[in-house]
Amino acid sequence: MTALPEPVLLRGGEFLNFFDVRTDPAHPGRHWEYVRRPHGRTGVTLVPVTADGRIILIDQFRWPLRDYVLELPSGLVEVDELGNTRAAAGRELAEETGVEFGSLRLLARGPLLPGVTDEINEFFHADVRRHGPFAADGLRLDVSTGNHGEGERIRAVYALPLGQAADWLDSRRRGGAIVDLRIYVGLFFAERRPASAG
């Protein structure tokens, strides 16, 4: 097999590096651009499920979209956590939602956007044992229970019954909300395995 060409760093940033693979052996003259995080290539996504069958979601501002996005709690494995994605997952869940949890179980590992980045993401099931009080609608948790991460803008933390989550998300999407597709992956896992498994 022909050796693959080395990528060339075009621009380095604090959070992203921009690379170009200038030669594609199968297509001379073509190139491919992608991004890589300079401080690690692993992210974590949480599928937090309560004992009474609710999935925890957040509504967080995302700068690339310039809007709030409904999503699962997630984040990056920090430099001091390299090799310990479980610790990173627990930290992100606590920071973003304020819930208390028991076991964390690895569900899947793989790329999310392989045409854009070489980042690998690990999905974890989280057994939620306790969470903050509900708001009046019975679906939102008191937002002060989360939003503790530096630089994060989380305006709502939801605890949705699994049986109602897909319809609720469809309704929100029709109303103009942006829904991260990872939620549907999370629902797939949450509905396959009970929250108490661990």
Q: pLDDT tens digit string along 13-69?
A: 998 999 998 766 667 778 889 999 988 889 999 999 999 999 999 999 999 999 999
Mean pLDDT score of the chain: 87
CA–CA gap between residue 80 and residue 67 (Å, rounded)? 30
- pLDDT band for 144, please (50, 70, 90 cuts): low
Q: 84: number of CA atoms within 13 Å, CB side?
A: 9
CA–CA gap between residue 15 and residue 87 (Å, rounded)? 21
- pLDDT band for 197, please (50, 70, 90 cuts): very low
Query: Which stretch of 57-71, 96-110, 139-153 has the lowest confidence by average pLDDT?
Result: 139-153
- Does residue 107 surpass a pLDDT of 90? yes
Query: 19 versus 82: which is more confidently predicted?
Result: 19
Residue 150 pLDDT: 64
- Does residue 145 surpass a pLDDT of 80? no
List, in order, residues 6 or more apart from 155 with CB less than 8 Å away.
59, 60, 61, 68, 143
Residue 148 pLDDT: 55
Residue 4 pLDDT: 78
Whether 79 contacts 39, CB under 8 Å: yes
Share of the chain above pLDDT 70, in %: 87
Considering the entire predicted model, what is its pTM?
A: 0.87
Residue 106 pLDDT: 95
158: buried, middle or exposed (CB in 10 Å: 19+, 13-18, 0-12)? buried
Length of the chain: 198
What confidence tens digit (pLDDT) does each residue in 159-191 have? Answer: 999 999 999 999 999 999 999 999 999 999 998
CA–CA gap between residue 66 and residue 79 (Å, rounded)? 27
* Sign of the dihedral through C-alpha 60, 63, 65, 66: positive
Residue 24 pLDDT: 63
Residue 123 pLDDT: 97
**Start-to-end C-alpha separation, the chain:** 43
Residue 133 pLDDT: 81
- In degrees, rounded to 5, the angle at the alpha carbon of residue 65 between the alpha carbons of residues 88 and 180 is 55
